[in-house]
Amino acid sequence: MILESILIERIIVVGLGQTWPIIYLSIFAYKLLKRAKNRSTITLSTVFIMIATAYLIAFFSMLLINSPFAYAFYITSWYFLMLSQSFLILFSLLLLQIEENISFMKFFLFIVLYGVIVTYVFWFGIFYDGIQYDVSTGWRPLFSLPFAILNWLYIIFFLVIPEIILSFKLLKIFKGVKIVIRIKLFLVSSFLEYVVISLIVLYNTLPDYYVFRPIFAITGALLGMFAAYFIYRSFGKKIE
């Protein structure tokens, strides 16, 4: 009975904590696509849609506890969450080549490349016990230290560093142009999003008794909301 009540409590907490992000992320995606349906808005809205999908699948994993599907759902949600961040890089590339217009093949290959890279989530999460998610962890995801480090390496080398390089190029090209204000807001909010993902990795790696886990959870939730809003706000109106 005690275990059952704990699980019910966790389902309620997770459900409430993830429902709000799903709602506001879906609203941002809808507003972007309503204003225009071009490669830029589709790319940026995909960030919101994939993060919302990741939260939704993670919630379903809680509803399916004590079944073989719970683990599969959670690890899939983590794959979507990590892959979603690559679309911020893709959007920066679209801005960088706004006049040349990236070919569909390059656009497609970029998505496939990152899609393949992020499969490390499955390889190391499953076969090297990178993610534990069962009754032994109280049905909360617990990352091993090597898996956490692997996530941080992905964030640093495939997200942060490319974004830094693109930032310098974008600010140089659009220096003195009115749109540079929006570009700066987008870049700042993108880096804020990478911080949020890093905090989620840290939160899932630390044991329950770690005193700062609740602080990381609250901080990550607030930063995530601000990051999403500012990303939307940066190009939420008429992407040139």
At residue 99, the pLDDT reads 65
Residue pair 10/62 in contact by the 8 Å Cβ criterion:
yes
**pLDDT band, very low/low/confident/very high, at 112 (cuts 50, 70, 90):** very high
pTM of the model: 0.91
Q: How far apart are CA 80 and CA 87, in angstroms?
A: 11
Q: Which residue has the higher pLDDT, 75 or 238?
A: 75
Q: How far apart are CA 195 and CA 191, in angstroms?
A: 6
Pick the most confident of 14-28, 52-66, 110-124, 136-150.
110-124
Phi, psi for residue 131 in degrees, rounded to 5: -120, 120
Q: Which of 235, 232, 234, 236 is nearest to 24 (CA)?
A: 232
